[in-house]
Amino acid sequence: MDEVFQALSDGTRRQMLRDLAMNDRTVSELAAPHPMSLAAASKHIRVLENAGLIRREVEGRTHRCHLEAAPLAAAHDELGFYEQFWTSSLNELDRLLREEAAQKNQADAKPSKKDPPKDA
The answer as to CATH 3.10.20.30 being correct for domain 2-68 is no
Which pLDDT value is given to residue 14? 97
Cβ distance 13 to 72 under 8 Å? no
**Given this model, what pLDDT does residue 108 score?**
82
Q: In which residue ranges of the chain is pLDDT below 50?
A: none
- pLDDT computed for residue 117 by the predictor: 61
* Cβ–Cβ under 8 Å, residues 58 and 68: no
Q: Whole-model pTM?
A: 0.70
At 82 the pLDDT is 85
Residue 43: per-residue pLDDT: 96
Q: What pLDDT was estimated at residue 118? A: 64
- Work out the number of other CB atoms within 10 angstroms of the CB of residue 55: 14
What are the extents of the domains in the chain?
Answer: 2-68
